[in-house]
């Protein structure tokens, strides 16, 4: 994830603050992104409206006079935080190549409490999965791995080896281009290594006609509408003939330990989504901020109670 040219390097925080000096600038940006062809009332067919002068994020319909917030129905729905805080947090999350913890975010974005920073980060992670994203296509390296997890206040638990006891189980796929370079990835937290679980992953993240390259695990055999190629080459270790999925897994484990001091079971999928977001946009980091807020406008809200009910 280190290959990066000057052109796609994200802008500095200073340049960012010049572009978004206050909540008004943020609200205008969101309004332009939400209504690229101009204001549209969500309650009536009217396309005429105006911004309230005393509250930048609220628009009023010229016909029915309904007031609509630019953040209604988005990840920022009913937020108590200033829009500028959301924007700075999105910038930091999008520009830190390895991710940022709630503790770091709290400090760097001057957020009042750890809990607020933690909740904000989780809502941003929700905006890391585009609901309209397409399936992986072509040759796809696929494998599973186990990751030790930690409980709330304890360090990482779970022994070594392949046994899933005390560990998190993850299945992943990487597109491999004709020149051997890696494309997009998908990762999913799974309850077990059963055939139905593995098949369900592949049929939902890859397009029909794809060639699934595996290490010979029979659980993958017979995935509908895909060709499965089991690459068992004597005693050659799997990372030799499936280099990319193993690179993804080892970087994922480093990401978990380095940024979060170990993943927690309840939020594993959110961390996997964040990892995929960073990997899939590693060459377009300068656009990650726009992508994050763009998806954030479409995916709906994430109430705090829904989030903590998982823990
Ligand atoms: Zn209206």
Q: Domains of the chain, with CATH numbers? A: 11-126+299-308 (no CATH), 139-273 (3.30.420.10)
How many angstroms does the Cα of residue 294 sit away from the middle of ligand 1? 24
Sign for the pseudo-dihedral over CA of 6, 7, 10, 14: positive
CA of 302 to the centre of ligand 1 (A): 26
Q: Distance from the CA of 50 to the center of ligand 1, in angstroms?
A: 11
Cα 277 to ligand 1 centre (Å): 36
Mean pLDDT by runs of 10 across the 311 residues of the chain is 60 91 94 93 94 88 96 91 95 89 94 95 94 94 90 58 70 95 97 95 97 91 93 65 92 91 89 95 86 91 86 69
pLDDT of residue 120: 96
How many whole angstroms from 299 Cα to the centroid of ligand 1?
23
Dist. CA 66 → ligand 1 center (Å) = 6
Distance 45 CA to ligand 1 centre (A): 6
Distance 35 CA to ligand 1 centre (A): 14
| Distance, CA of 191 to CA of 74 (rounded, Å) | 30
What is the whole-number distance in angstroms between the Cα of residue 69 and the centre of ligand 1? 13
Q: What separation in angstroms does the CA of 222 have from each of 142, 197, 200, 241?
A: 14, 13, 12, 21
Instruction: Please give the distance, rounded to the nearest whole angstrom, from the Cα atom of residue 86 to the centre of ligand 1.
Output: 28
Q: What is the pLDDT of residue 1?
A: 44
Distance 130 CA to ligand 1 centre (A): 29
The residues, any chain, with a CB within 8 Å of residue 311's CB and separated by 6 or more, are 264, 266, 267
Helices (H), 144-237: 195-205
- Given a contact cutoff of 8 angstroms between Cβ atoms, the answer to whether 232 and 216 are in contact is yes
Beta strands 67-69 and 58-61 are antiparallel
């Amino acid at each position: 994830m280190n290959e990066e040219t000057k052109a796609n390097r994200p802008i500095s925080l200073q340049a960012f603050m010049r572009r978004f000096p206050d909540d008004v600038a943020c609200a205008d940006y969101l309004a332009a992104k939400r209504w690229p062809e101009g204001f549209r009332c969500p309650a009536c067919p009217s396309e005429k409206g105006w911004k309230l002068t005393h509250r930048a994020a609220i628009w009023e319909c010229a016909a029915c006079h309904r007031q609509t917030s630019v953040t209604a129905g988005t990840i920022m729905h009913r937020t108590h935080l200033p829009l500028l805080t959301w924007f700075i947090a999105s910038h930091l999350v999008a520009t830190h190549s390895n991710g940022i913890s709630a503790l770091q975010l709290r400090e760097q974005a001057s957020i009042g409490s750890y809990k607020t920073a933690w909740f904000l980060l989780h809502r941003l992670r929700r905006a890391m999965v585009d609901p309209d994203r397409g399936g992986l296509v072509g040759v796809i390296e696929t494998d599973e791995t186990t990751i030790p997890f930690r409980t709330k206040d304890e360090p990482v638990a779970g022994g070594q080896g392949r046994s899933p006891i005390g560990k998190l189980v993850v299945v992943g796929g990487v597109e491999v281009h004709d020149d051997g370079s890696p494309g997009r990835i998908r990762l999913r937290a799974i309850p077990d290594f059963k055939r139905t679980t593995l098949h369900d992953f592949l049929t939902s993240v890859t397009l029909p006609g794809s060639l699934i390259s595996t290490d010979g695990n029979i659980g993958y055999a017979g995935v509908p509408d895909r060709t499965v190629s089991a690459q068992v080459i004597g005693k050659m270790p799997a990372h030799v003939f499936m280099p990319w999925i193993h690179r993804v897994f080892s970087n994922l484990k480093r990401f978990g330990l380095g940024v979060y001091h170990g993943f927690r079971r309840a939020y594993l999928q959110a961390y996997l989504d964040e990892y995929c977001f960073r990997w899939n946009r590693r060459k377009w980091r300068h656009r990650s901020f726009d992508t994050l807020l763009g998806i954030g406008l479409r995916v709906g809200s994430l109430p705090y109670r829904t989030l903590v009910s998982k823990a």
